[in-house]
Chains A and B, each alone.
Chain A
Amino acid sequence: TQLLEQSPQFLSIQEGENLTVYCNSSSVFSSLQWYRQEPGEGPVLLVTVVTGGEVKKLKRLTFQFGDARKDSSLHITAAQPGDTGLYLCAGASGSARQLTFGSGTQLTVLP
């Protein structure tokens, strides 16, 4: 069974601060996705990374896929209250026909 562990589980920071969320596994994934979910809504796909060592930037968000494709990180610069939400990583392997989701990081950005 492939498991994805996210840390921290909860994070509460002030507006303007930087933060990093981690997603780790002992398994290799062919690709890894990051989603953000707001209360009462479905997860929204933010980014997909597929190459080991790949870095993608989405405005103030920077996503990195580990060289061995077992881990990933999400860094947010100058966090804003609108960044508040549940951040989920999800991995896909070459043979699996479904995504394995991490347990999520609940981020709260205080104004």
Chain B
Amino acid sequence: DSGVTQTPKHLITATGQRVTLRCSPRSGDLSVYWYQQSLDQGLQFLIQYYNGEERAKGNILERFSAQQFPDLHSELNLSSLELGDSALYFCASSPAGTGSVWQFFGPGTRLTVL
């Protein structure tokens, strides 16, 4: 158990819909990272937040957005869903002062778009 929690574990929805994925980092960790993992693309970095502010952006689509709240939990919002958005979405957190080096991953949310 990494200490990072994600909900829900599974999500099945239809094209065009909007979903919200939730992540709680390890106690004391200020950074939260979101990743998408699909069979053909591997593990792709989406976005990072540090203490409530966006710190770095990766290959995140405009239809996707994220935020980190004052209690440090984070949400990833996916809208206008397409079949190709079906993937595993992981959240990771890292201790303050370690940069991006030590990342601890949650169990993931499996999103299926029908």
Residues 35-46 of chain A, each 1 if its beta carbon lies under 8 Å from chain B, else 0: 100001111110
- Interface size for B (C-beta < 8 A) is 24
Contacts of B103 in A (CB 8 A): 33, 45, 99
Asked if residues A98 and B33 are in contact (CB atoms below 8 Å), the reply is yes
Complexed CA–CA distance, A44 and B105 (Å): 7
- Taking CB atoms, residues of chain B closer than 8 Å to A96 are 56, 100
Is A110 at the interface (CB under 8 A from chain B)?
A: no
Inter-chain pairs besides A42-B92, A92-B101, A99-B100, 18 sampled, C-beta below 8 Å: A33-B101, A33-B103, A40-B108, A42-B2, A42-B108, A43-B105, A44-B2, A48-B101, A88-B43, A92-B100, A96-B56, A96-B100, A97-B48, A98-B33, A98-B58, A98-B100, A101-B42, A103-B42
Q: Could you list which residues of chain B lie within 8 angstroms of chain A, going by C-beta atoms?
A: 2, 4, 33, 42-45, 48, 55-56, 58, 90, 92, 99-108, 110
Residue among A43, A92, A104 facing the most chain B CB atoms (10 A cut-off): A43
Among A31, A88, A97, A100, chain B packs the most CB atoms within 10 A around the CB of A97
- Whether the Cβ atoms of B107 and A42 lie closer than 8 Å is yes
Q: How many residues of A contact B (CB 8 A)?
A: 21
